[in-house]
Structure 1
Amino acid sequence: MREFGELLRTHRIGAGLTQQQLADFAMVSVRAIRDLECGRTRSPRAETVRLLAEGLRLDEGSRADLQQAGGRAAGRTAVAPPAPAGSSGVIVGREAEAAALTALLTEGRPGVGAPGARDVSGRVPEARGGAGVVFGAPLDRTSGRLITITGVGGVGKTRLALEVAGDLHFRHGWSVLWHPAQASPSVDDEQNTVLVTDQRPDPRLLEEHPRLRIVVTALAPTGLPGEHVFPLGALGDDAAVRLLLTHVHRVRPAFKPEPANQAALMGLVHELDGLPSALEFAAGWFMVYSPQHLLERLRSNPLDPTSAHLRDALRRSLSTLDDEGRELLARLAEGEDAGHSAPMRDLCVRGLVRRAGPRYEVLNLVRAAVREPVSGPHLAAGVALTWPV
């Protein structure tokens, strides 16, 4: 049998989580995770094992293996999701998106004013202040109950889903299921339930369970009937600076924003597109760089201070495009104004480009990933670590 620490580390890395991220998701201290992974602690409490399994969103088989490695009998666990991290229980900069997504799920149909949400066609019937509103089309039995959060890798789709699931469970009393699409989840039809998955769900689940809602986190829409697409964009400037400082204070607690470094902090979030994962990894460099020096390094190569996981996530986003989308993105990366088109809408839904006044622009990190020459192994599932030209 594999040691608990080794198995925990394998699952964490496979999920693309840092120790701090897993600690936030699972309500377990970073020190406890570090001690478990290095073997300093060999007999975790049953509650710790449960929280870690929930934070990792393990399927039943993997959960049982983790429980067995920890010396615990496998069994059915509570449905409570990992609680959101951060001050006041809300993830930094996503208050509006979390409220809109919660409203969509609890109302059971599209609601006015939810930022960024669209139906599967991508149409937005009305705009107020530049934000889209959700479609209010007539509902069938499944319409409005399947929501797909789309966006580029590292934008925080899973983190938003965790936030909303926690709100539904703790404030509204819903049951929460973390389940892979390959298995059939056990749904209690006596209570409202939300299933969170990063796989294409079986649409029959919504027909069979009328009180079920499904939230999918994906790079692109699933295309299933009745789907509502919720594109998640990068953080705005102020929110991005707040999130960057939150992470910086974990490595430099005494760091303070001041007039002398304010321009550099704003420059950092611009270079990193306000992408939460990029901001988190860049914050680690504050241990050795001043904001000004880090900004100089970013301007020469914005991917330089990020993690291999984020690089792979960006390339995985690129690999999902068809030939037309790839060609359009390459043209946009070279500064061409490509106008408005269905492929452009698709790039927006995937979070690879964004509106900049009357034009569209490619995210800075995406442009760097497009241009960066890559050689070496392939990602899992045969995704090449190269940009097709």
Structure 2
Amino acid sequence: MANTALADDSVTQFGPLLRRHRTSVGLTQRMLADLSTVSVRAIRDLERGKARPRQDTVRLLTGALRLGRCASEDLELAAGVRAGRALREEYGPHVAAPPTVLTPMFGRDAELGAVVRELDSGEGRLLTLHGLPGVGRTRLAAEVAARLHRAGTPVLWVSAPHADGPLTQPVRDLRLAGVVGSVAAALFDPSGGGAALAELVGDRDTLLVVDGVTGARPRADALLGLLGDCPRLRVLVTADGPCGLPGERPFLLAPLPVPVATEPRVLADEPAVRLFVHHVAAARHLSAADAPDIAEVCALTDGLPPALAAAASWLAVYDLPTLREVLRADPAALVGADLMSRLAARVAALAPADRAALVGLAGAARTLAEVAAGTGRTVADAGGLVRDLVRRGLLLVSHSAGQSRFAVPVLVGALL
């Protein structure tokens, strides 16, 4: 009856309160278990903050403890199974704020504007940001949330199970922490419930961010139920790929554009260059003479922010020409095992025939006709292959002279 989960504020608030109510009426855990039909182990885990209480569990416990209306509501609030009248009255952007992110964001103005417009207009109520690992999905989502929050929209931030380096919503009200925790349970646990969020939000503007979805997807019934109960709720998901949810609008986030010119004044405005220089600035002075090397380093790291940061960190050891040469020889060696393992998992998920086709596409950028010729497929079949690989982030798209060209990212190619 208790859902095991990582401890959060709602869980740690509930346990001591349950123990206080139990001991105040002179009950042992065994006695409370007998009266409530909740197992001794579940009660022990709840009191220790090792499990999240479910709505039916809370109801059984409050009944067995014979709590009055106010005490029952306090326990329900602590569990996050209801929002409570006071929290509903106080709910707003001053209570529900997005995480604070201190790292700068470069070169995402177009994507930021497009996502904010779609969410703000209500045209898209369920958007999924997806792309290669390290492309900056969470960072863009945080910026979108901050923009809407400044405009007066409350923001609720939920981290998916097993999210990589999850951001944490600032806890300005422990009652709200309980509701946020219950939302996380409702979206990924079939026995969870989203009643507290629906009760809290009602028909008020709210942005719900579900960050770091990998593997298990949010439950469609739970998410669509929340959107139905809360007509002005909008949901922004960050994931390793589209979630396949009804009404979902996938938004593919590409890496930062890599420079094609080496002229210093042109390079200075390139987002990948600006991010690389930002990471280098504290350790080394760069000059206009370094422009060609910087441009190539950005290209060899595919414009992926963590790869650029990792490459910049090696300037404590190498000079720029040496860094460039090492990246030419083995780009995977310098950008970090974590990023490379996540890229490798993306490649490993391909069907054998698609992986073989990807191997054949490594190298120069190709048109669709060239992809078809190189893989021995019809243009229609090659189009389906390219579409799938682009959606997975394993092919990058560029446009020149009215034609689209497709290339395997350098770091992905290093794995093939």
TM-score normalised by length of structure 1: 0.63
Give the corresponding residue for 1:182: 188
Cα offset for 1:86? Answer: 4.3
Give the corresponding residue for 2:249: 228
Stretch deviating more after TM superposition (233-242 or 200-209): 200-209
Question: 2 CA distance for matches of 1:318 and 1:270?
Answer: 20
- Mapped pair 1:345 → 2:387: yes
Q: Which residue, out of 356, 366, 369, partners 2:412?
A: 366
Give the corresponding residue for 1:157: 137
Q: Secondary structure at the match of 1:246?
A: helix
- Please tell me the residue identity of whatever aligns with 1:234: P
Give the corresponding residue for 2:354: 325
| Residues 84, 166 of structure 1: 8 Å contact kept | no
Q: Secondary structure at the match of 1:84?
A: coil
Q: Secondary structure at the match of 1:314?
A: helix
Give the corresponding residue for 1:309: 338
Deviations 1:30-57 (A, max 9, x none): xxxxxxxxxxxxxxxxxxxxxxxxxxxx
Give the corresponding residue for 1:97: 111
TM-score normalised by length of structure 2: 0.59
Give the corresponding residue for 1:193: 206
| Residues 153, 206 of structure 2: 8 Å contact kept | no
Give the corresponding residue for 1:275: 304
Cα offset for 1:258? Answer: 1.5
Q: Which residues of 2 match residues 1-389 of structure 1 at below 5 A?
A: 61-64=6-9, 78-86=95-103, 91-109=105-123, 144-180=124-160, 181-183=187-189, 184-185=193-194, 186-187=196-197, 188-197=201-210, 198-199=212-213, 200-203=217-220, 204=224, 205-236=226-257, 237=259, 238-250=270-282, 252=283, 255-333=284-362, 337-339=370-372, 340-356=382-398, 357=400, 358=403, 359-370=405-416
| Residues 96, 154 of structure 2: 8 Å contact kept | no
Rate the CA distance shift 1:173–1:196 in 2: closer, same or farther, 3 A: closer
Structure with a larger share of its residues in helix: 2
Question: 1 CA distance for matches of 2:339 and 2:137?
Answer: 14
| Residues 363, 407 of structure 2: 8 Å contact kept | no
**What's the C-alpha RMSD, in Å, of the aligned pairs?**
2.8
- Please tell me the residue identity of whatever aligns with 1:165: A
Question: 2 CA distance for matches of 1:214 and 1:97?
Answer: 17
Cα offset for 1:249? Answer: 2.4
Stretch deviating more after TM superposition (168-177 or 309-318): 168-177
| Residues 179, 195 of structure 1: 8 Å contact kept | no
Question: 1 CA distance for matches of 2:206 and 2:349?
Answer: 30
Q: Which runs of 5+ in 2 are unaligned?
A: 17-47, 50-77, 81-86, 88-94, 161-186, 260-269, 373-381
Cα offset for 1:334? Answer: 5.9
| Residues 165, 176 of structure 1: 8 Å contact kept | no
